[in-house]
Amino acid sequence: MLDKERMPRHVAIIMDGNGRWAKKRGLPRVAGHNAGMKTMKKIVDHSDKLGIEYLTVYAFSTENWKRSIAEVSGIFKLLVTYVNSELKELVENNVKVTVLGDYRQIPSDAEKSLEKTLEATKNNTGLRFNIALNYGSRDEIRRAVEEIARGVQAGNLNPEDITEDTISAHLFTGKLHLDIPDPELVIRTSGELRLSNYLLWQTAYSELVFSDVLWPDFSPEEYEKAIEEYQSRDRRFGGR
């Protein structure tokens, strides 16, 4: 039973297992991504119902460009389909969509659909739904360091004044960009036990929950199990 008083403000998810889900069924990988997109919609809806304030999903990493042209193309076509079919409901449910990563490198039709969603939901005040798209944490940190270095070079910042807060502020999630708090809970599906270059700075003290369930089969019930696991832990942040 979930404790409403101990609900994480921010949940981050690595949606893994679409390809294996499709392979088990003798289907093309893009069919797995299509099933995964439907699961993502369910989890967004359920997060809203649970009162979670921030949900961040790892949709496409900087490393995913190494995949086949057909698979990459299929992923972005599905993104366009999702945006076009769900935009009205996102607006009605007061969901605000934001993007982590350099999405301007994605195909133009996907970029246009995404910008339409960002514009339509920008004033919404409910669930903040963050899509990590063309995102890699090491690239994010590199960009932050570059911004800080330019500030030092311009004389706007002294090197001795650079703190952890300074670095945090310059990340995609930081107050200079989106002002998203660090996630309390990170969930990865499909049985893999790694972060895969995802929110490496922000997850320093996050609780990690790994599920063996492939992402397309990750139901709201499985989601609640992961949150229950989070709630069962004693978070000491290095203390006793």
Q: Which residues are catalytic?
A: 16, 64
Q: Which residues pair with 133 in a beta bridge?
A: 60
Distance of CA 97 to the CA centre of its chain: 11
94 is known to lie in a ligand binding site: no
* Strand spans (E) along 149-235: 185-188, 207-210
16 is known to lie in a ligand binding site: yes
142 is known to lie in a ligand binding site: no
Half-sphere exposure for 131 (CA within 13 Å, toward CB): 24
CA angle 55, 59, 60 (to 5 degrees): 145
68 is known to lie in a ligand binding site: no
21 is known to lie in a ligand binding site: yes
17 is known to lie in a ligand binding site: yes
The CA distance from 80 to 15, in Å, is: 18
Distance of CA 202 to the CA centre of its chain: 12
62 is known to lie in a ligand binding site: yes
Cβ–Cβ under 8 Å, residues 135 and 62: yes
At 213, list the tokens: 């369930």
67 is known to lie in a ligand binding site: yes
Alpha helices, H only, 57-163: 69-92, 108-121, 137-153
188 is known to lie in a ligand binding site: yes
128 is known to lie in a ligand binding site: no
- Residues with Cβ within 8 Å of 86's Cβ and at least 6 positions away in sequence, in order, are 41
197 is known to lie in a ligand binding site: no
User: Which residues define the annotated binding site?
Assistant: 16-21, 29, 33, 61-63, 65, 67, 188, 194-196, 207
User: Which residues define the annotated binding site for Mg(2+)?
Assistant: 16, 207
User: Which residues define the annotated binding site for substrate?
Assistant: 17-21, 29, 33, 61-63, 65, 67, 188, 194-196
